[in-house]
A and B are shown apart, each in its own frame.
Chain A
Amino acid sequence: MKTDTSAVNIDRDKGDFHYKVDYGYDAGVGLDERVVNYISDVKQDPDWVREFRLKALQTFESKPLPTHWASKDLEAIDFNKIRYYLAQGQRATRSWDEVPEDVKRTFERLGIPEQERKFLAGVEAQFDSEAVYSNIKKAVGEQGVIFVGSTEGLKEYPEIFRRWFGKVIPTGDNKFSALNSAVFSGGSFIYVPPGVKVKHPLQAYFRINAENFGQFERTLIICDEGSELTYMEGCTAPKFNTATLHSAVVELIALKGAKLQYITVQNWSPNVFNLVTKRGLAHEESEIKWIDCNIGSRLTMKYPGVVLKGRKSRGEVLSIALANNGQHQDTGAKMIHAADETTSNIISKSISIGTGRATYRGLVHVPKHLKNCRNNTECDALLINATSRTDTYPAITVRGTGNSVQHEASVSQVSAEQIFYMQQRGLSEAQAMSLSVNGFVNDLVRQFPMEYSVELKRLIELEMEGSVG
């Protein structure tokens, strides 16, 4: 059965193109105070933001690369060769007609305006450093939902923005959150008022167009008491020979009783370093769920987390990572229990193909004074070839009585016998592989929204076609 409701359209082959664009704003190459000040000038930052950036630059410079535990491949990033800010203009338009022609055709080719009409409550489209388009359906806006770019958010809604910005992920959390804090631009700012349940998803699409470029979007989402929201993001970039850096910071806040679901399907080209910090803060009886699918990139380091701050709050990370030849998916989850009766669930599935490597890092923390906390962690790895690699580093500290954790891990391999069996039924080797991989992730994908699971299955098929035979 064919479906044309692809959720995010991040087919990498379709994304591998770029048009020449004239940038009106260019911070040049390399990173220093001058560059940070240039960004602040161009964006007309309030003083507190400029100070925040400059301080963050110092933090970034003072922190070493985390190569004592992470991949040495990080050393291949030359921070002096990257361009930190490129934009045509400063304002995202509310209408596709006003988006400059050369940028608009990129998003049209990616099918974004079409999807917006079909099933989304709102869309933000970011091109290199700035959002070029941002709009929500009228009915959603009338409920008081705010969905704008981060620059607009901090200017127009400072009382909400400033209260939460940098509170879930402090600048010094890690070297890359510090980098983002110094040069951030773009990303979404969303506020959902109390009791408002946004029926259809809001979507952001992040597109890197330029070579040697770093994209540093900053997303802040606040779901007020009893509200509900699903947010989806998709990302692509053309394939360049040089390294491209994507280093986002995403902070989520779910106030009492709110439900927030954040879905990512990334499909970066194999030259992209994808180093992202994502964390949510869950208040009493609220629920934060990360659905995180990582395909592509050269190296991804991403461990979505939830700080379970309020009693009976609930955190969940469902993740799928697919590491193809030459790629390293270093992903996982963090669950910080900080109140009684909190529950967390982590299900991680990884697939390694060819020389691909998938690493799972998990952190589950339940301190001694808490009661009736529960965590369930399952991580399963599938190896396609003898050269494929997987590692698991679970760190679970659970103290106190009446708290329970459960951890299961498995490693399996698609056997030659299984492939032969499937081929004997008429499937090509690539089809057999892709069906096996879909079978492996199937029980997890079933929990995803329908449009998303369809898109993901298609992406896995494309990935397997390119890697077999």
Chain B
Amino acid sequence: MQQLEIKNLRVAIGENEIIRDLSLSVGLGEMHAVMGPNGSGKSTLAKVIAGHPDYKVTGGEVLMDGENLFELDPDERARKGLFLAFQYPSEVPGVTIANFLRAAMQARLPEGEELEATDYYAKLYEKMDLLEIDRSFTSRAVNEGFSGGEKKRCEILQMAMLDPRYAVLDETDSGLDIDALKVVASGVNSLRGPNLGVLLITHYQRLLNYIVPDFVHVMVHGRIVRSGGKELALELEEKGYDWIREHAGEPVAA
């Protein structure tokens, strides 16, 4: 039961079906990579799990440790241990990272209980040291004027502070040069452990050189067409997505 379980999921925007009968399970302590070409529905999958209001779930369910996520608001899912690292994180003008995280952690406490400021900062500094983030970083407003690399580091710092049970990382490598990619990957690796299940969504194989997955799934046109071990990513890198499409009986993009 200790898993994030996607069962026969169907998702549409308007008339357009984007996810078509997709099933996938991420156990606690496991690292799953979902790879796929542009437009395969990867980012939709991430947003639907987190509860983005723009998408309509037309079938199936997502269970987190046995609990149906679709019966919960996005913030309830988050408080129960679901984290999404966004492909394009939003700016929150005027709100510092330190204050934002503090509000997020406060929201996880029972009513009437106050977050201890000293404990909070001790944890914040510990995680910043772990991720090799400069102390001045958290006095900046969330994502405001950040470079691509800074935005992704900010996501990973939030993940480290909020201790999720399951994390979905949506194209965490996009927009990063190789140095920034290494830093972010080492951050993710430092958070790996038996109490965290990760769904890593990526277009390129190169991220998987730095974050080695336990399982790789290939997603094409709204469904998983192939699953395997980490070697599947290499095979895909060599042969390209068209190879998968042919095998899956999907139309090859023009």
Contact = CB atoms under 8 A, between A and B. Distances in A.
Given A420-B52, A420-B74, A424-B50, A443 B94 contact: yes
Interface string B101-131: 1011001100000100100000000000000
Contacts of B78: 423-426
A418 B75 contact: no
Interface residues of B, number: 32
A144 to B, nearest CB: 42
A441 B107 CA distance: 22
A440 B93 CA distance: 6
B214 to A, nearest CB: 25
A420 B53 contact: yes
A423 B114 contact: no
Contacts of B95: 435-436, 438-439, 442
B94 A440 contact: yes
B73 interface: yes
A349 to B, nearest CB: 10
Nearest to B75: A423
A421 B86 contact: yes
A426 B108 contact: yes
A435 B100 contact: yes
Interface SS of chain A: helix
Contact of B75 (A1, A417, A429): A429
Nearest to A445: B94
A422 interface: yes
A428 interface: yes
Interface in B196-214: none
B93 A423 contact: no
Nearest to B108: A426
Contact of B103 (A420, A424, A431): A431
A436 B53 CA distance: 19
A439 B79 CA distance: 22
A277 to B, nearest CB: 32
A60 B117 CA distance: 56
A169 to B, nearest CB: 35
The B contact surface, by secondary structure, is mixed
A416 interface: yes
B219 to A, nearest CB: 22
A415 interface: yes
Interface string B39-83: 000000000001111000000000000000000011101110001
Interface in A379-428: 412, 415-418, 420-428
A26 to B, nearest CB: 45
Contact of B90 (A2, A415, A428): A415
Contact of B92 (A426, A428, A439, A441): A439
Contacts of A443: 94
A425 B162 contact: yes
B124 to A, nearest CB: 14
Given A1-B117, A420-B53, A425 B104 contact: yes
B4 to A, nearest CB: 15
Nearest to B74: A423
Contact of A435 (B52, B89, B103, B162): B103
B162 to A, nearest CB: 7
Nearest to B107: A426
Interface in B1-58: 50-53
B183 interface: no
A426 B162 contact: yes
Name which of B77, B94, B101, B141 has the most chain A CB atoms within 10 A of its CB: B94
B92 A436 contact: yes
Contacts of A436: 92-93, 95
B91 interface: yes
A4 B114 CA distance: 14
B158 interface: yes
A427 B114 contact: no
B234 to A, nearest CB: 32
Interface of B: 50-53, 73-75, 77-79, 83-84, 86, 89-95, 99-101, 103-104, 107-108, 114, 117, 141, 158, 162
Sorted from nearest, which 5 A-B pairs have the closest CB atoms?
A439-B94, A439-B95, A421-B90, A442-B94, A426-B78
Given A412-B93, A422-B100, 7 more contacts: A1-B114, A417-B90, A421-B86, A425-B75, A428-B107, A431-B107, A441-B94
